[in-house]
Amino acid sequence: MVDSQQKSNARTPRHGVRMTHQRQMILEALESCEGFVSAQKLHARLQKDGSTVGLTTVYRALAGLERAGLADLLRDDTGERLYLRRPTDEHRHYLRCRDCGSASPLDADPVEQWAHRIAQTSGYTNLEHTLELTGVCAGCHDHGRSGTNPRQ
Ligand SMILES: [Zn+2]
Ligand SMILES: [Zn+2]
């Protein structure tokens, strides 16, 4: 009895994610972050704001937001997933600091034009691409704490 009732309540749209109250909250928290954040960081931030949302929920919500095109996903050097609220619907490329994780969107018109040309000449449809640039930002460089820098 209870099972069938739960099923009928689960209205899942064909595309996108259900915007539950928790997802909305997590999306807003993500929006207020500067640069890419991990689920754990975002979870800590939510807890500080008095939220009781669990870490697993944050993980799931972020993955859902990424699938829905509301967030961008990167992996850092350790393979951890980092998320950033996507400012608009269009896809972006970012320059990300390996030390502090701050990121800024790039003007990647040449890349987009190149990709567009490939799409036209290759006969492929639904072409997608990913491109990320990482480095050490000016702030981190000044502090001289670029621990991951192999230069010696
Ligand atoms: Zn930095
Ligand atoms: Zn692109």
What pLDDT score does 66 carry? 86
CA of 127 to the centre of ligand 2 (A): 10
Same fold, 1-88 and 91-152: no
In three-state secondary structure terms, 70 is coil
| Strand partners of residue 73 | 83
Residue 33 CA to ligand 2 centre (angstroms) = 23
What distance in angstroms lies between residue 126's CA and the mean position of ligand 2's atoms? 13
99 alpha carbon, closest ligand: 1
Distance CA 108, CA 110 (A): 6
Please, what is the average pLDDT of the chain? Answer: 80
Q: Which residues contact 17 (CB under 8 A, 6 or more apart)?
A: 23, 64, 65, 67, 68
Angle between helices 55-67 and 39-48 (to 10 degrees): 120
Give the span between the Cα atoms of 143 and 145, in whole angstroms: 5
Q: How much distance in Å is there from the Cα of 22 to the middle of ligand 2?
A: 30
Q: Is the pLDDT of residue 57 over 90?
A: yes
CATH of segment(s) 91-152 = 3.30.1490.190
Q: In this structure, which CATH number among 1.10.357.10, 3.40.50.800, 1.10.600.10, 1.10.10.10 belongs to the domain 1-88?
A: 1.10.10.10
**In degrees, to the nearest 5, what angle opens at C-alpha 127 toward C-alphas 121 and 133?**
110
Give residue-wise pLDDT tens across range 77-112: 888 899 988 766 567 788 888 988 888 888 888 888
Tell me the ligand closest to 110's alpha carbon. Answer: 2
Q: Where are the domains of the chain?
A: 1-88, 91-152
Tell me the percentage of the chain whose pLDDT exceeds 70: 80
pTM as predicted = 0.51
Q: Among candidates 47, 54, 102, which has minimal Cα distance to 76? A: 102
